[in-house]
Chain A
Amino acid sequence: MLNRRDFIKTLGATAGVATLGGCAGGASKARGHVVVVGGGYGGATAAKYLRLWSNGSVDVTLIERNTEFISCPISNLVISGDKALADITVSYEGLRKWGVRVVHDSVLGIDAEKRTIKLEKGGEINYDRAILSPGVDFLWDQVPALKSADAQAKILHAWKAGPQTVALRKQLEDLKDGGVYALTIPKAPYRCPPGPYERISVIADYFKRHKPKSKVIALDANPEVTSKKGLFTKAWDELYKGIVDYRPNSELRDVDVANRTAILEFDKVKADVLNVVPPQRAGDIVAKSGAKLANGRWAEVDWLSLESVNAKGIHILGDSTLSAPLMPKSGFMANQHGKVAAAAILNLLAGEAPNPEPFMTNTCYSFVDAKNVIHVASVHRYDAEKKTLIVVPGASGVSAQRNEIEAAYAIGWAKNIWADALA
């Protein structure tokens, strides 16, 4: 078992460097060991900011099964062929420089009573506070034919960036001109509300440039486009007439894997490339932790600290949470969750109450073709009466129109948020 003393020994070499990186706030009174599970936008940010804001006085272990961070935002441009996987891949070395102990392992379980986490390879770890930021897992029961690994290798989701992203790109490259690509979109809430609409847009752009006889069919379980509706539908009308066929109220019931056919309630849609974004819930480890889930899917948290409403000492971030009103499941939001949780945990470890007035901001940029982008943005503040975050009145909106300036900002945003979380 890794205890605090071993942890400090392991850190020896880097701890001196890490403390130099602190801000002007001076020494922190917080002491203890925080274990973060999941090194995505939420977990990586929380790990870095716990070290930054404690001036290195709090020990942080990050458990992450992948050896590199691969970004979901911008991954649709890998699928359209406009970017490579290397462009959206970031090393975990930057976090090690902050003194975060990065362990590549899988978590088997967490015991909230004993405050221990069991790893697949690395035994057990004690913690004072734990952060779970595992993103989403898929509800395969709702798409029964896709339960097997074999079926999932044929009908891709590409809703977690990595090998699936590259595999979907390959399927589109292999598609003949005149072929059909179909995407199924689950009922909200799901990870990245505008993501499916961005995906069909940039794939339509790829078809327009390289396979102009090909078609894109979107089968959306929702009654309408769930994010940036006006801007997306305008782009489809103006840029992709005759290419994009958007069908609302088209919920997937199952899939015929061999025939690449989406089975709906009253209809069947055959495609050459069928891409299924399955319905989702909080990551498995959240479900296993005993944390209270709304509808068996999303973790209910105290928005002052992101602590589970029932599993004490366990803070849950990002897509796994039951979102506050108008709060999307986005990488940007997970970053903000990570910072509110880090600040609250440092207060709690110092014997103080969390900041009673947390703020969060969100911006989601979406490409509608390789050069034009649209955004949605909002500022959220804690409302003590409602005990949740609400959008500050007036502080939200979307782009006036699609434009090239925001395409540069979108890429700049990606570089800055990757550095904010990981460098």
Chain B
Amino acid sequence: MNRTIRTASLAALVLVSGAAAAQDPNFTRNLAATCAPCHGTNGKAIPGAGQVPLAGEAQETIASRLHEFRAGTRPATIMHQIAKGYTDEQIKQLAAWFAAQKK
């Protein structure tokens, strides 16, 4: 991705979220890295280890699962607790970021 496009998409993010302009350009990358101990670096979980891979999954699927976990409407052992850590905007950012990773 070149700088112009990156800057443009960042500007779009800020517009959509109305968030402070001070958000770190790597905020979403950093937030997504908190998931890696279970879901693998960049969302590439070890096949067969039991955890759901996130890399390259559809953005809508990831987002709706996180919303359902957070609302308590999707069965979970742990994700109903962890999903409560994120705002709507952060769920959107995480879903977009993982969807953009190579499977």
Please list the residues of chain A having a beta carbon within 8 angstroms of any beta carbon in chain B.
Answer: 23-26, 48-49, 52-53, 332, 335-336, 339-340, 343, 347, 354-361, 363, 375, 377-379, 381, 392, 394-397, 399, 403, 405-406, 408-409, 411-413, 415-417, 419-420
Contact = CB atoms under 8 A, between A and B. Distances in A.
Contacts of B101: 23
Given A25-B29, A377-B81, A416 B39 contact: yes
Contacts of B85: 359, 361, 379, 381, 392, 395
A416 B1 contact: no
27 contacts: A25-B26, A26-B1, A26-B3, A49-B33, A52-B41, A335-B36, A336-B37, A343-B24, A357-B27, A359-B34, A361-B35, A361-B37, A377-B78, A379-B34, A379-B82, A395-B85, A399-B78, A405-B77, A409-B51, A411-B50, A412-B50, A413-B51, A415-B46, A415-B49, A416-B38, A417-B38, A420-B41
B26 A358 contact: no
Contact of A23 (B42, B46, B49): B42
A360 B50 contact: no
Interface in B45-103: 45-46, 49-51, 77-78, 80-86, 100-101
Q: Which 5 A-B pairs rank lowest in CB-CB distance, beginning with the nearest?
A: A379-B85, A412-B50, A395-B85, A412-B49, A355-B24
A332 B30 CA distance: 15
Contacts of B23: 357
A361 B82 contact: yes
Contacts of A356: 22, 24
Nearest to A399: B77
Contacts, number: 126
Given A52-B41, A412-B49, A412-B51, 9 more contacts: A26-B2, A339-B33, A357-B24, A363-B38, A396-B81, A406-B77, A409-B50, A416-B37, A420-B36
Contacts of A363: 37-38, 78, 82
B31 interface: yes
Contacts of A419: 40-41, 46
A344 to B, nearest CB: 9
Nearest to A419: B46
Interface of B: 1-3, 6, 22-24, 26-27, 29-31, 33-42, 45-46, 49-51, 77-78, 80-86, 100-101
Given A355-B24, A355-B26, A395-B85, A360 B77 contact: no
B34 to A, nearest CB: 4
Given A339-B30, A356-B24, A363-B78, A416 B84 contact: no
Contacts of B81: 377-378, 395-397
B34 A360 contact: yes
Given A340-B30, A395-B85, A416-B46, A409 B77 contact: yes
Contacts of A26: 1-3, 6
A53 to B, nearest CB: 7
A295 to B, nearest CB: 29
A343 B30 contact: yes
Contact of B30 (A359, A395, A413, A416): A359
B84 A392 contact: yes
A339 B82 CA distance: 18
A171 B93 CA distance: 51
B100 to A, nearest CB: 7
A322 to B, nearest CB: 21
